[in-house]
Amino acid sequence: MIDILEYMVPKQALNPAAFHLAVAGAGGQPLFTIQEGNVICDMKGAGGFPWDINTFDEEFIYQSITEVDWETPTTFKMFASTSRTTGNGGIVWAPRFVNRPGFNPPIVTADSTYRTYSACGTYTTSNLGGPVMTQVEGPYSINFGGTIGQQSALIQKYFWGWKASLPMIQQPGYLNMEVNYYVIGLGHVQWELHTLVNGLYTLQQTSAFNTKVSGGAPGLVFPCGIPTI
């Protein structure tokens, strides 16, 4: 068994106090990962926001918060799922511990309710149309290019956009699949969006944080504090 935090939080190959990851090229989007208590934050800007915020306990890692407006840290989306009493409304992003190596069983979060905050205390409520599902596999040796090259990576898949009858196959399933790659000692190194096209998941977008850049993480800017669900 391995602790997924070893892959999600930079600790070994990358010193987060001195370096961060970025998309290759001049002005490439940075990614700063910090851990404070049971909160993991991927900051996508040098100003301390925007961010993706996950929480964890001894059983699961939960996706909780993501940005709405990249320029306004008082706006954000936060899951408000009632599927589990733990996780403060977050959906299960991954089990805390996984088998090494190979596939792990998918985990379904039935309630995909989320809040969209337009200001710290003001929000509307919606959902992703049905359940969401995540699955972890690996670790595998993958070449990510850039300055990080070949690495041992876990692959996390996130399925959303549930439909009772999908086009082409006329069976229930998910319209979208996001794929995240986490490297031991480095953290989150790649994100992909795939959408269902003619019954097959087709890559639409990739962000590869495969280049080490000097400069430590900024202070987290999240003026609202994490609401209690």
**What residues have CB less than 8 Å from 211, skipping those under 6 apart?**
21, 22, 23, 24, 28, 146, 147, 148
Q: Using one digit for the tens of pLDDT, what is the confidence trace for 92-123?
A: 999 999 887 778 899 999 999 999 999 999 99
The amino acid occupying position 196 is L
Domain count, the chain: 1
User: Residue 118 and residue 82: Cα distance in Å, rounded?
Assistant: 22
Q: Within a domain: residue 148?
A: yes
Report helix, strand or coil for 3.
Answer: strand
Tokens of 168: 């082409």
Q: Using one digit for the tens of pLDDT, what is the confidence trace for 174-202?
A: 999 999 999 999 999 999 999 999 888 99
Tokens of 140: 């595998």
Q: Within a domain: residue 26?
A: yes
Q: Within a domain: residue 228?
A: no
Q: Within a domain: residue 220?
A: no
Q: Within a domain: residue 137?
A: yes
Q: Read off the pTM.
A: 0.94
Element (H, E) at 8: helix 5-8
Q: Within a domain: residue 222?
A: no
**Which of 15-24, 86-95, 127-136 is predicted with the least confidence, judged by mean pLDDT?**
15-24
Helix/strand/coil percent split, the chain, to 5 = 0, 50, 45
Report helix, strand or coil for 70.
Answer: coil
Q: Within a domain: residue 226?
A: no
Residues linked to residue 143 through DSSP beta bridges, in sequence order: 150
Task: Give yes or no for a cis peptide into 139 (omega within 30° of 0).
Answer: yes
Q: Within a domain: residue 223?
A: no
Whole domain around residue 154: which residue ranges? 2-214
